[in-house]
C-alpha cells in the first residue's frame, strides 16, 4: 500500500470515523446548501484571519476529491441562472464530477421586499413595485429530485452520505434507515434534533473545511459575509 492509500485510510477511519460497516456509499451533494456553509467565516482552515477583501469558497475539485475518498458514487445537484454566468459554473462542475453525475435545472427568482432597516446594507440589485422596494432571491430546490434518486438507487448502496443540513430530508433519512440503510450527514450550521436522530453519523462542515475550501477575492463592493461567487 502506497503513502496516498495510507493517508486515505487514515482520513476515512480516524478523522471521519467511516469504517467498513458503512459498506457501499452513495454521496449526494446538495450544492445550493453547501455553497453557503462558510459564508460568514472570517478564518481560513488554519484559523488565520481572512482579509476583508477575501472570502472562503467551496473548491469543486477539492470537494469531489474529498467525497471520492469514501464514496463509490458521487452525485452533484445545483441550479443554473440563464441570466448570468452560472452556466459556466455548471460546465465546470460537469468537467470535475462527470456529465452524468451533475443534475441541474433553471433557478427561479423570488421577490423579497426589503424592510426599511435592510435597505442601507443591501448589496443586491433592487426593484420597485406597488408593495415597495424588493430584491430577487434565487431559489432552486432539489429536495424532490434528491429524494427520488436516493430511493430509486437504494439497491446500489448501503449508506447515503448527504451533503446538506436541510430539514426537508428528514423523511428521506427516516425511510432509508427503516429499509436497512445508514445515513451520514455532512452539515453546516444548525440541524433539527429530529434530523440528527435519523442519522448514523453527523459531520460538521468546520471539521472538513481544510479539505474542501479555497480563499478567493471578493467582488468589488461586496461585504464580508455577503453571498457572491
The Cα–Cα gap between 21 and 65 comes to: 22
| Containing structural domain, residue 66 | 3-105+140-217
pLDDT of residue 125: 84
Q: Residue 225: inside a domain, yes or no?
A: no
Same domain, 43 and 119: no
Residue 69 neighbours by CB distance under 10 Å? 16
pLDDT, average across residues 85-94: 87
**Which residues on neighbouring strands pair with residue 26, listed in sequence order?**
73, 160
pLDDT digit string, tens, across residues 131-189: 889 887 767 679 999 999 999 999 999 999 999 988 889 999 999 999 999 999 999 98
pTM above 0.75, yes or no: yes
Angle between helices 143-152 and 170-178 (to 10 degrees): 10
The Cα–Cα gap between 170 and 189 comes to: 16
Same domain, 172 and 135: no
Q: Higher model confidence: residue 48 or residue 152? A: 152
The Cα–Cα gap between 213 and 62 comes to: 7
Name residue, grid cell 428521506.
172
pLDDT digit string, tens, across residues 99-117: 999 999 887 777 888 888 8
Domains in the chain: how many in total? 2
Q: What Å distances lie between residue 99 and 50, 58, 92, 103, 130, CA to CA?
A: 34, 19, 10, 8, 43
Same domain, 95 and 132: no
Amino acid at each position: 500500500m502506497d503513502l496516498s492509500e495510507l493517508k486515505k485510510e487514515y482520513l476515512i477511519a480516524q478523522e471521519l470515523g467511516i469504517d467498513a460497516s458503512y459498506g457501499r456509499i452513495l454521496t449526494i451533494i446538495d450544492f445550493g446548501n453547501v455553497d453557503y456553509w462558510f459564508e460568514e467565516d472570517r478564518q481560513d482552515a488554519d484559523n488565520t484571519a481572512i482579509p476583508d477583501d477575501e472570502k472562503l469558497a467551496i473548491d469543486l475539485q477539492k470537494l469531489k476529491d474529498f467525497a471520492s475518498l469514501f464514496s463509490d458514487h458521487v452525485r452533484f445537484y445545483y441550479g443554473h441562472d440563464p441570466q448570468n454566468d452560472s452556466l459556466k459554473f455548471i460546465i465546470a462542475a460537469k468537467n470535475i464530477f462527470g456529465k452524468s453525475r451533475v443534475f441541474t435545472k433553471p433557478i427561479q427568482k423570488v421577490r423579497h421586499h426589503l424592510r426599511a432597516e435592510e435597505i442601507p446594507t443591501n448589496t443586491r440589485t433592487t426593484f420597485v413595485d406597488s408593495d415597495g422596494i424588493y430584491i430577487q432571491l434565487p431559489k432552486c430546490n432539489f429536495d424532490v429530485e434528491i429524494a427520488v434518486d436516493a430511493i430509486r438507487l437504494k439497491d446500489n448502496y448501503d449508506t447515503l452520505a448527504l451533503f446538506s443540513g436541510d430539514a426537508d430530508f428528514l423523511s428521506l433519512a427516516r425511510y432509508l434507515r427503516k429499509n436497512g440503510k445508514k445515513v451520514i450527514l455532512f452539515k453546516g450550521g444548525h440541524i433539527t434534533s429530529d434530523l440528527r436522530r435519523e442519522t448514523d453519523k453527523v459531520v460538521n462542515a468546520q471539521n472538513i473545511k481544510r479539505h474542501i475550501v479555497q480563499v478567493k477575492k471578493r467582488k468589488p463592493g461586496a461585504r464580508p459575509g455577503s453571498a457572491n461567487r
